[in-house]
Amino acid sequence: AIYWSDNMWEARLRYSRDILLEGLSVFLESDRLYDSDSEEIMWRPKWGLEYNAPNGWRAVLYQAQRELIETEMRPGVEQRF
């Protein structure tokens, strides 16, 4: 998906493939997003396994690069987790 946001284009690319068991798949995904903390546009790739159970439950195990979890700002100190 490609979309326009704040005078720039952002995107999400995703590929998944079923493997072994029904409901189990491997996926690759990347987002092109604007990071307001660093004021730059970056790709944020992730990959992993996804399981969709027949009863509606969903489990995802993945690894991601450049995923901003939290930014804590105090006077003179900025920490990213």
Comparing CA positions, the residue from 60, 54, 51, 55 lying closest to residue 24 is: 51
Radius of gyration of the chain (CA): 16
Query: Averaged over 36-50, what is the pLDDT?
Result: 85
20 vs 51, higher pLDDT = 51
Whole domain around residue 70: which residue ranges?
2-80
Local structure of 75: helix, strand or coil: coil
The answer to whether 30 and 17 have CB atoms below 8 angstroms apart is no
The total number of structural domains in the chain stands at 1
User: How far is the C-alpha of 30 from the C-alpha of 9, rounded, in Å?
Assistant: 14
In whole angstroms, give the CA distance from residue 45 to residue 28: 8
Q: What's the pLDDT at 28?
A: 96
pTM: 0.65
